[in-house]
Chains A and B, each alone.
Chain A
């Protein structure tokens, strides 16, 4: 475990001693702020229209959770599809290019520790992003009355989603020694994972069920509604574990060739 933290610490330092972490954090938060502002504006406008119609029954159905937080979380998830690959793309290619891969693989540490360390380093950065975007939830709470548990579960969903993205990005980065391929490969995989649910709406039968199960959006949607289902949690954890396990195999495979 000590080796894992050694690697994770080095990864994290390299994010923060270069501009990488700041550029990613700033772009993410700036866009997130814009999404939040736009959603809030739309919410206020609709609210005004309905209050002019003096329809109390309609008004009571309005809530911040459904009209601001849930769409915001979905937008942030899409944003992370583009941001997380920028974190994972250099994990392995850079080591291979600079020759430090030889240092890591000839040190008395296990391949699994290298993979886990790199993943954890990235995870700290990703979770920091998600946590900072929690600021919007805090603002809503200060000036409005969103349901707190529902909001927290939604953010938990976003964090889980980001963790899955990170694990898959780590896996793809281990396949290549090219940073561009590392980015585009991860972007492609995450977009497929995110959009595959679109097929699930039309395909019937067993394959339809399968597609709906694989689709990350369907599981995420449940969490943004504030519903914690063990099946969804199992789904996220499974993807992370499988992603990291395959990364370990892919790095280890240098030794079989």
Chain B
């Protein structure tokens, strides 16, 4: 469903990501793990078509993100790191606006609105302005806008950040119900989230992929924490040795 092939993104001399490749099968929930600043957000922005890659390709449902951008964008629901909300809009008027942007027909907007209000638990805040919502509700509205056009692919950038424990559990179970039907890429640095929610895990460190495997395979004889810490230390160790060698 999603094929990322040797993506590199350079900002001048600095490479944010280097030669990133991975795939997500239809219906899979893929956990995209990595320390802060590893390149998770950059990769996701490239997949959604917000940023161009310096080299490499992304295909979503067979469509190239750069060549057939509109087709890809129609198929993706995207929740950026900060939910993209207009603070002066009310919940329903915002969601209707997004629904129209995503190309829903006028007659389908009302139905879609009711659907996401239910799935994301937004009934209680129906008449509130987005600027007056708590962090948890803002995150849910963010998720609702990603779901409003019922996309087959969801890209969620740290969807549980800043939520309280109860909300985290709710959002996780919501995401779990979304899998199966949809392909989900979920970035996080909370490890239990991945073992609870995801089928597959991709670990990125300092801009390149260090592990791509099924969660079940990785956690057969040890915890995901051990796998993650070991992979990151091994990789960062190599990295600093390599750069030291390059300098000398």
Q: How far is the CA of A254 from the CA of B145 in the complex (A)?
A: 23
The answer, yes or no, to whether A238 is at the interface (CB within 8 Å) is no
The answer, yes or no, to whether B70 is at the interface (CB within 8 Å) is yes
Range, interface on chain B: 20 to 34
Residue of B nearest to A113 (CB): B101
The interface residues of chain B lying within 8 Å CB-to-CB of A17 are 88-89
The interface residues of chain A lying within 8 Å CB-to-CB of B80 are 99, 102-103
Interface centre among A7, A13, A18, A102 (most CB of B within 10 A): A102
Measured CB to CB, the closest approach of chain B to A248, in angstroms, equals 15
Known contacts: A6-B100, A14-B89. The answer to whether A107 contacts B84 by CB under 8 A is no
Measured CB to CB, the closest approach of chain A to B127, in angstroms, equals 14
Measured CB to CB, the closest approach of chain A to B217, in angstroms, equals 32
The answer, yes or no, to whether B196 is at the interface (CB within 8 Å) is no
The interface residues of chain A lying within 8 Å CB-to-CB of B100 are 2-3, 6
Measured CB to CB, the closest approach of chain A to B159, in angstroms, equals 14
The answer, yes or no, to whether A255 is at the interface (CB within 8 Å) is yes
Using a CB-CB cutoff of 8 Å, which residues 92-138 of chain A contact chain B?
A: 98-110
Q: How far is the CA of A150 from the CA of B48 in the complex (A)?
A: 54
Known contacts: A99-B80, A106-B49, A108-B70. The answer to whether A6 contacts B97 by CB under 8 A is yes
The answer, yes or no, to whether B76 is at the interface (CB within 8 Å) is yes
Q: Which of B82, B84, B93 contacts A13 (CB 8 A)?
A: B93
The interface residues of chain A lying within 8 Å CB-to-CB of B84 are 98-103
Residue of B nearest to A6 (CB): B100
Q: How far is the CA of A108 from the CA of B102 in the complex (A)?
A: 6
Interface centre among B51, B74, B76 (most CB of A within 10 A): B51
The answer, yes or no, to whether A34 is at the interface (CB within 8 Å) is no
Per-residue B-contact encoding for A6-20, CB less than 8 Å = 1, 0 else: 110010011001100
Measured CB to CB, the closest approach of chain A to B139, in angstroms, equals 13
Are B85 and A100 in touch, CB under 8 angstroms?
A: yes
Q: How far is the CA of A254 from the CA of B50 in the complex (A)?
A: 8
The interface residues of chain B lying within 8 Å CB-to-CB of A101 are 84
Q: Is the interface of B mostly helix, strand, loop or mixed?
A: loop
Per-residue A-contact encoding for B87-131, CB less than 8 Å = 1, 0 else: 111000100011011110000000000000000000000000000
The answer, yes or no, to whether A143 is at the interface (CB within 8 Å) is no
The interface residues of chain A lying within 8 Å CB-to-CB of B97 are 6, 10
Q: How far is the CA of A104 from the CA of B100 in the complex (A)?
A: 11
Using a CB-CB cutoff of 8 Å, which residues 51-78 of chain B contact chain A?
A: 51-52, 70-71, 73-74, 76, 78
Known contacts: A107-B101, A108-B70. The answer to whether A255 contacts B52 by CB under 8 A is yes
20 contacts between A and B (CB under 8 A): A6-B97, A7-B101, A13-B93, A17-B88, A17-B89, A18-B88, A98-B86, A102-B50, A102-B80, A103-B84, A105-B49, A105-B50, A106-B48, A108-B70, A108-B71, A108-B101, A109-B101, A109-B103, A254-B50, A255-B51
Apart from A14-B88, A104-B101, A108-B73, 15 more pairs, CB < 8 Å: A2-B100, A3-B100, A3-B101, A17-B89, A99-B81, A102-B48, A102-B80, A102-B84, A107-B101, A107-B102, A108-B70, A108-B74, A108-B103, A109-B101, A256-B52
